Structure 1
């Protein structure tokens, strides 16, 4: 199913499949939410940025919260995927730690607007937003916990606490690196944080042979 844009915006007259139109609307919404925050963002402005009429926007998203949540869920899924892939990409635990840290830095570097929407939203008091952000953190912790439990021979409670620590230091360090305008080269920053984490995890909890 294709749609024709009715407004005087950028895409006037363009016909797009529904999935392509949805992606276009989410991209426009991200720009507006990142620039203005949730509360100051308006559906009029988002429609104008996307080059569509408001009725077209409302065909896809019945309200501003639904639009915001669709965008947030998209980024939560992306971050979760990055961390899970970091754990599955190798059996070398030192490389896994490096890749887990890198997942956060890469997310920040490539999608800094997305990172701010996930972790610095002005809508954090909204239960739906809280749930989505917690899902991002918990899914990352779960992926790392499963690996540490299997490879370090720790019970789940201890492995989970270590995983929470790794996710926490990765997230906070990546945000600080971004706030400092990427002063350090990304690979150097990742190396510093992953070495810090690995000295704790690798030194204190060596690889445990599987049965």
Structure 2
């Protein structure tokens, strides 16, 4: 794929903005840090805990094919160690090391919280910026009674691309996450989300241009 055009960056920006929920922060009974390739999730969780937005935190995530090289002992384990290194007390962190998808992140984290005697009425979901909407839609499906606040590191798309170091990969991931937002409700994995026509048009254009390495069959 030859370079990324200005129009493709504009389209990617539409997806980036849509995939974030833009929830205002508020105090929650607990938080779930959703495992991924992005250690920034753990950094964001640590900062939010230090700011007092929640008292207990579950890090969730196993070793998956896309993160095994980066986090060989599992996403949750590495997140926990990183957060402790940033000053989060060990006793504030619960570990969920088995989840391999977003639904499992939520269902298994809820189980870990319940086993610790915590039955939250509100949960803060901490994720990569572009995973917020998928995490929200999944939680509304599998844990509908809990109130959800989505949070992620406050970054512009260009800053995130610089941090990852691969613009094509980032656009591929944006396209892949939006595909899941679109298709997962019919598969029973999440609730429907309204998708503005401009966002859907940008998504379809990027797909046609070949940004599809993270698309599922």
Task: Using structure 2 for the length normalisation, give the TM-score.
Answer: 0.29
Point out the structure with max Rg over C-alpha: 1
Give the strand-richer structure, 1 or 2: 2
Task: Using structure 1 for the length normalisation, give the TM-score.
Answer: 0.29
Higher relative contact order (CA 8 A, sep 6+): 2
